[in-house]
Structure 1
């Protein structure tokens, strides 16, 4: 029988019963019981709780084997992982939380603002539909490389240092993107090196921006560690709403910025300085805009953001051993079930594959939407297609803001299932073989609505939420980093694959492939829904 004691700001294993210091949050009963909530997994119906309101102490007897005593003292900084109501402790620091949201926003705004002009810029640099796939995939390639590294770094160095590095890289990437849209620079490179050097610079700029945007695991880990398991899906949905705003709603901003230099715009015809070395045109405006936004966010991070201190490594493992948590649920989750993988490992891998299915699908729509719309509808141009996607994306953001209410009616697995079924229906509306002269715009707009407003935002966010719940009290940074990388892998390979399929077989064949992928993923969720439910609630 072991307990934990606090001595010289360190937790040590001692015998037989000692003290755990935790912060004073709410009332004596609820606060202390929540602070000891990490032991609830090991508790049986015979577990007893005793509260001494005047002394501010609580005692819990686990299965008659161990007694733990907790008092309320302001020592949350030294025992961060023991804070049971982190949402009250940390998200009250709204400036820091809003900066986290802003980091998420600009990470995908870097993708969204460029969306309306990326394909035209690609064409102006001697590219085509296949190279468009590479341009879209390059951004995700950068995220694949950096997401696990930044996630692990946040666990060691903290959030502030990690985000400073990522924002600095994003700043460099936006500058390179502006250079790729500058005729003087690209013409010089194409003439002196190779006629596709300008296009290569565009792809490289996308990679660097992806490196700087690989913070999904870091920001999600921040929110996951600041919320209880019960409310985690709601808080992560709000964070996802911010992210979703970046790459679905911000194309409107990109379109407005580009229109500003066109005929009738407030800087009609653009501007040029230093002999054309610095220009404002429809291709450089998004890059220059993102450079300013990234610089502002970096300044706010350095001056306002307050880092969250972390508990010492190994504390969680010691607590599990001392509390007897290794018995029961852990045995079930650690059973070998598939190719040497434990049930927990297989479920984590399965969630990552669900992430691949949903992220990959949205990446294909992102790659083919403009080309599909302009080739099927005479009245559709890239600007109008961007407005349709952005409008439906805005409705998707609203849906995400109500995820807390949706979660009261549907479980996470139900949201995942219904979300992917909706995506299948939306994709089916885009399938059309033969003459498409009668293909109405309403059909296209309905498909985009089902995909961007309902299916993807709800289904994908539920995948993120259930993954974080399954991870539980384990360090979230690295695992969420790998989770983000899985999605980035999908956003990297699906666009390239879709570019080749659309080029040689047509868009409808690619949409049929997506229906198959989403159908298989939905079937897996339905078959294993009980495993997902149990692991996410234990």
Structure 2
């Protein structure tokens, strides 16, 4: 070193804090520089791979929700074909079978994912069940005994429900593969993917109702407007299996790394997690349960409801209901995405109450009919001209016209003849029923009709509030659980959501059929009002 050279100490960074233990960044520039924790935990390539893996979870949620929604608008007429003696309470059991399977499978799959340290094995297994259940649903024409066919339909929907338990795995993976900053947005997107499945499902059934005008195949391998929905879902399941293979899907977990880094920075690596707030957890579970219970009505008896209220035939009801649910689902999907942006500007709890619970409560109230026209009753004593009839067990309209010995019991005891099968001829029959509310629903005689504009407005309120309440609830729930085993705790969320889909169809179909719209939506309005009270009382506990 030359004698003339002098070393000086640079003090320009003396006040700069580099970690949480020494105070953290002081300037806004410093804060922005370390705002994305993932930059400290992974390389840009690893981050891109982690983001790609999220898309597999989104697609899986999308496919699973299609498996649930694709048959909802068509299951009632399909059920009447295989067993025409059944009523709407039977429909409730068919719809409830799916979430019942999900309720049983969710905690088991959550445990499996935690134990294995990977969701791939459990997901592939459940998707195979998904394919089998939908294929079985489409093979019911091969079962000649109507009662057996009905119970096989319940079993098929149960199997599809078991497969849907992997939504717990997808949610837990999103929670474990996102940072705290990313989590609410990630959970919102996965919820939006699920909502998109609910959009596409009814659209597929509506399109099939219009386009599949002829029946092909025979027995178990029949392709018509109802069985085709199950086959389409099975094909989507095959695609889902492929993208779950190791060559496509690699898992990346960052939440645990983030927690470890935070503890190391605070020099508290042995510090236990904060105590679980079970009151806040219970409130969030209740907030997750009720909106699903409300939405169950639209999913379960939407088609029978409009048939009763407006005397629509099944094809018209399926097509119009499917299109409306699809439009509403598109709005829900955009709101799911928007929720992640809104909570960055507005307190999550305010979004939860004002943008979620209140609109749903208003929507339930608007389902109460005010003064209006009388509901048209179905008449089963007058002759009805049927343009098409069903050649079930090989019988056609010509058989009915030429043989006086064929009784309606030949058609599974049904006096309701859909046009799913046809030889293209016309016939006038003795025991047909006109369209309208069934005679055994006495409340239709004195309860006014729900006007169509009021129905649309009520549905839009519910569909606007549902994504806001659901996405914020999921985000807050994940934050309450924090770095604990996400699979186990999120499986509890799946159980509660499935329970509402199990209880909802059975109770709602029974209350609606026996007591009518006032009791059905009066009860739902009361329950939503209790949720508003609970959220208000627990407002301070929900802050994380």
Shorter-chain TM-score: what band?
0.7 to 0.9
Q: Does 1:493 align with 2:438?
A: no
Aligned to 2:149: 198
Aligned to 1:421: 358
Aligned ranges for residues 95-494 of structure 1 at < 5 Å? 95-124=52-81, 125=83, 126-157=85-116, 158-180=118-140, 183=141, 185-187=142-144, 190=145, 195-262=146-213, 269-272=214-217, 275-302=218-245, 304-308=247-251, 323-324=267-268, 330=274, 334=275, 344-378=277-311, 381-418=317-354, 419-432=356-369, 436-437=373-374, 439-452=450-463, 454-494=464-504
Distance apart, 1:521 and its partner CA: 1.2
Task: Determine if contact 1:428/1:511 at 8 Å carries over to the other structure.
Answer: yes
- SS at 2:251 equivalent: coil
Aligned to 2:4: none
Whole-Å separation in 2 of the counterparts to 1:132 and 1:527: 38
Distance apart, 1:366 and its partner CA: 1.5
- SS at 1:474 equivalent: coil
Aligned ranges for residues 9-88 of structure 1 at < 5 Å? 47=23
CA 1:504–1:434: 2 relative to 1, 3 Å: farther
Whole-Å separation in 1 of the counterparts to 2:132 and 2:263: 44
- Is the deviation greater in 419-428 or in 321-330? 321-330
- Is the deviation greater in 315-324 or in 205-214? 315-324
Q: TM-score normalised to the size of structure 2?
A: 0.73
Task: Determine if contact 2:69/2:201 at 8 Å carries over to the other structure.
Answer: yes
Task: Determine if contact 2:209/2:318 at 8 Å carries over to the other structure.
Answer: no
CA 1:515–1:88: 2 relative to 1, 3 Å: farther
Distance apart, 1:440 and its partner CA: 2.6
Task: Map Cα deviations across residues 286-316 of structure 1 (whole Å, 9 max, x no partner).
Answer: 1111111101110221253333266999997
- SS at 1:233 equivalent: helix
Whole-Å separation in 1 of the counterparts to 2:263 and 2:293: 37
Q: Does 1:532 align with 2:542?
A: yes
Whole-Å separation in 1 of the counterparts to 2:100 and 2:40: 36
Task: Determine if contact 2:367/2:521 at 8 Å carries over to the other structure.
Answer: yes
Task: Determine if contact 1:151/1:477 at 8 Å carries over to the other structure.
Answer: yes
Q: What is the total number of aligned residue pairs between the two structures?
A: 436
CA 1:88–1:371: 2 relative to 1, 3 Å: farther
Whole-Å separation in 2 of the counterparts to 1:237 and 1:313: 21
Whole-Å separation in 1 of the counterparts to 2:341 and 2:51: 23
- What are the ranges of 5 or more consecutive residues in structure 2 without an aligned counterpart? 1-16, 27-36, 375-448
Task: Determine if contact 2:100/2:158 at 8 Å carries over to the other structure.
Answer: yes
Whole-Å separation in 2 of the counterparts to 1:400 and 1:293: 23
Whole-Å separation in 2 of the counterparts to 1:87 and 1:140: 40
CA 1:222–1:495: 2 relative to 1, 3 Å: same
Whole-Å separation in 2 of the counterparts to 1:214 and 1:399: 24
Task: Determine if contact 2:106/2:166 at 8 Å carries over to the other structure.
Answer: yes
Whole-Å separation in 2 of the counterparts to 1:464 and 1:86: 28
Select the structure with the greater relative contact order (CA < 8 A; seq sep ≥ 6): 2
Task: Map Cα deviations across residues 227-246 of structure 1 (whole Å, 9 max, x no partner).
Answer: 22233111111111110111
Whole-Å separation in 1 of the counterparts to 2:370 and 2:309: 12
Whole-Å separation in 2 of the counterparts to 1:506 and 1:363: 16
CA 1:145–1:175: 2 relative to 1, 3 Å: same
- SS at 1:405 equivalent: helix
Whole-Å separation in 1 of the counterparts to 2:273 and 2:55: 36
**Structure number with bigger Rg:** 2
CA 1:350–1:281: 2 relative to 1, 3 Å: same
Whole-Å separation in 1 of the counterparts to 2:23 and 2:471: 35
Whole-Å separation in 1 of the counterparts to 2:294 and 2:452: 21
Task: Determine if contact 1:122/1:128 at 8 Å carries over to the other structure.
Answer: no
Aligned to 2:396: none
Aligned to 1:504: 514
Whole-Å separation in 2 of the counterparts to 1:143 and 1:441: 34
- What are the ranges of 5 or more consecutive residues in structure 1 without an aligned counterpart? 1-31, 51-71, 77-81, 263-268, 335-342
Distance apart, 1:407 and its partner CA: 1.5
CA 1:276–1:367: 2 relative to 1, 3 Å: closer
Task: Determine if contact 1:144/1:488 at 8 Å carries over to the other structure.
Answer: yes
Whole-Å separation in 2 of the counterparts to 1:461 and 1:511: 24
Task: Determine if contact 2:64/2:197 at 8 Å carries over to the other structure.
Answer: yes
Q: TM-score normalised to the size of structure 1?
A: 0.74
Task: Map Cα deviations across residues 102-137 of structure 1 (whole Å, 9 max, x no partner).
Answer: 110111100111122011112222322111111111
Hey, which of these two has a bigger chunk of strand by percent?
Answer: 1
- SS at 1:150 equivalent: helix
Task: Map Cα deviations across residues 206-248 of structure 1 (whole Å, 9 max, x no partner).
Answer: 1000001111221111111222223311111111111011123
- SS at 2:73 equivalent: helix
